[in-house]
Amino acid sequence: MADNETNVINIAGTEYDPNDLTNQQKYWIAQVQDLQNKRQAQQFQLDQINVALDSFMNALIGSFKDPEAAELFDETKEKLNG
């Protein structure tokens, strides 16, 4: 049964048969889909940046409260970087 069903595209609440679309409409749909994927990838990266930024900010704030912990962090970082 699924093999006989035509895929439909829903745009602004209206369903369209892809076979009824013009080449220009198909091009615009491809552009929109590509941009949605790019936005999702950029959001993924932004989430990583925000977490890393928060981590570094917390380390900075913590270094003022506990200077010995900051020194230990520096020593560990040096050992890891060779």
Q: What confidence tens digit (pLDDT) does each residue in 12-68 have?
A: 999 999 999 999 999 999 999 999 999 999 999 999 999 999 999 998 888 888 877
The pLDDT of residue 4: 53
pLDDT of residue 73 exceeding 90, the answer is no
Rounded-to-integer distance, Cα 37 and Cα 4, Å: 29
Of residues 16 and 2, the one with the higher pLDDT is: 16
Q: What is the pTM of this model?
A: 0.64
Six-digit token string for 24: 């220009």
The pLDDT of residue 1: 42
What residue ranges do the domains of the chain occupy?
A: 22-81
